[in-house]
């Protein structure tokens, strides 16, 4: 076997690096000029770490570098809550034109009272990162059964989380959001008065979490796994959205940033001519947590700067009432082919 062929085989089977430590170095000489370009907004609004990540991403091959991840279409059409919904809220509904996404909370039976209790709706960055991991592994391995590692610490490292306990620590939050996510159910509907179509599926068929909060490094007797439902797994395989995991890593501190980056990848992939995206329309897509469009637009402009910092080929400009998106190379280039 030739050295080149051996290297390609290695890339094909190598596990992607999901997340890691963000580079905090100061920019090299010449980077400041790039960082000050008009499309990135004012220099003071740019996070140095994101800008450095963008410079590395611009010259990278995500397949060879193990930085290729995937989401799926149904998760881009409408998104999970950014902040915590009320504890007794069973349904999360997002409407975007003729499309509607409904996320339904799972439930459990109280062992003492026998009463039904809502598990709660997933929200924030953690379920987005967990879902990204599940979609990426399902697409990479072509299997609905996804391993989460031998112990809690292994999985936390995959997501770039700190091993902190307590009610607000990453350990507690991860366990809570993972359970909420795998027990939830999604329903996507399209109805324009003439055509009605839809997709409905539980996210997971089964799951096994043997996570010890007190001893997160302790290996469990069983493998921690999530087995995706057949319908949801098929959705991932048939409608994948390629993402650069370096960008995800740099944007993982904000669910808004993650949603905007993912949606823009989806939108750019089919864009043939410039399109004006109205803040009101984007709010329906990504910002149902906002009651005022002006507040949403103010925040969205800042988030666009973050996304442009890590995706330097993104072509967009602010216009009255929204922004103009131009055809450009996706964050993961279309012509990028997997090695054989």
96 and 201 inside one domain? yes
Beta pairing class for 196-202 and 240-244: unpaired
- Do residue 75 and residue 61 come from a single domain? no
Note whether 57 and 87 are same-domain residues. no
CB 63 within 8 A of CB 270: no
Show the domain range for 41: 1-66+254-333
Q: Is residue 92 part of a domain?
A: yes
User: For residues 83 and 123, what is the distance between their CA atoms, to the nearest angstrom?
Assistant: 6
Task: Tell me the C-alpha distance between 220 and 153, whole Å.
Answer: 11
Per-residue pLDDT of the chain in tens (340 residues, 90 and over written 9):
444 444 334 434 445 555 544 333 333 433 333 333 444 444 444 577 788 888 888 878 887 778 899 999 888 876 889 999 998 999 998 887 788 889 999 998 888 888 889 999 999 999 999 999 999 999 999 999 999 877 777 787 777 776 655 555 677 888 899 999 999 998 888 888 999 988 888 999 999 987 766 665 666 556 789 999 999 999 999 999 999 999 998 999 899 999 999 999 999 998 999 999 999 989 888 866 777 899 999 999 999 999 999 999 999 999 999 999 999 988 887 655 444 4
**Residue 245 falls inside a structural domain:** no
Tell whether 220 and 91 lie within a shared domain: yes
In a domain, 246, yes or no: no
> Is residue 243 in a domain?
no
Q: Is position 280 within any domain?
A: yes
User: Do 107 and 13 share a domain, yes or no?
Assistant: no
SS3 235: helix
Of 212, 238, 264, the one marking the end of a domain is: 238
Domain boundary among 206, 238, 270: 238
* Same-domain pairing of 38 and 163: no
How many domains does the structure of the chain reveal?
Answer: 2
Tokens 């907004």, located at residue: 41
Alpha-carbon distance of 77 to 277, in angstroms, equals 15
Q: Which two tokens stand for residue 141?
A: 């391995």
pTM here is 0.81
- What pLDDT does residue 294 have? 92
User: What six digits make up the tokens of 10?
Assistant: 């290695």
Place of tokens 């003071």: 44
Whether residue 11 is found in the same domain as residue 41 = yes
Neighbours of 155 (CB within 10 A): 21
- Please report whether residue 338 resides in a domain: no
- Six-digit token string for 326: 């131009």
DSSP string, 107-151: EEE-TTT--EEE-----SHHHHHHHHHHHHHHHHHT-SEEE--SS
* Residue that terminates a domain, selected from 238, 272, 299: 238
């Amino acid at each position: 076997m030739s050295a080149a062929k051996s290297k390609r085989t290695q890339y094909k089977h190598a596990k992607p690096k999901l997340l890691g430590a963000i580079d905090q170095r100061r920019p090299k000489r010449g980077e400041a000029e790039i960082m000050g370009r008009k499309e990135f907004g004012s220099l003071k609004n740019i996070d140095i770490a994101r800008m450095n990540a963008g410079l590395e991403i611009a010259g990278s091959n995500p397949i060879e570098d193990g930085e290729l991840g995937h989401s799926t279409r149904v998760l881009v059409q409408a998104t999970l809550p950014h902040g915590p919904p009320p504890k007794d809220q069973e349904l999360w509904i997002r409407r975007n034109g003729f499309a509607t996404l409904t996320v339904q909370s799972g439930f459990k039976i109280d062992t003492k009272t026998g009463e039904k209790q809502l598990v709660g709706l997933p929200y924030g960055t953690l379920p987005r990162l967990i879902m990204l991991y599940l979609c990426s592994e399902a697409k990479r391995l072509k299997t609905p059964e996804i391993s989460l590692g031998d112990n809690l610490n292994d999985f936390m490292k995959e997501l770039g989380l700190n091993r902190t306990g307590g009610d607000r620590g990453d350990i507690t939050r991860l366990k809570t959001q993972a359970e909420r996510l795998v027990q939830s159910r999604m329903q996507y509907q399209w109805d324009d008065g003439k055509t009605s179509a839809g997709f409905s599926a539980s996210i997971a068929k089964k799951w096994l979490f043997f996570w010890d909060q007190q001893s997160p490094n302790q290996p469990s007797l069983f493998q921690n796994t999530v087995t995706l439902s057949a319908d949801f797994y098929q959705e991932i395989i048939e409608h994948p959205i390629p993402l650069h995991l370096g960008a995800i890593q740099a944007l993982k501190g904000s669910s808004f940033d993650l949603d905007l980056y993912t949606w823009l990848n989806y939108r750019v992939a089919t864009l043939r001519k410039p399109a004006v995206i109205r803040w009101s329309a984007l709010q329906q897509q990504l910002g149902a947590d906002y009651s005022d469009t002006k507040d949403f637009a103010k925040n969205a402009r800042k988030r666009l700067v973050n996304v442009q910092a890590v995706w330097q080929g993104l072509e967009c400009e602010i216009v009255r009432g929204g922004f103009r998106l131009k055809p450009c190379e996706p964050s993961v280039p279309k012509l990028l082919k997997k090695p054989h």
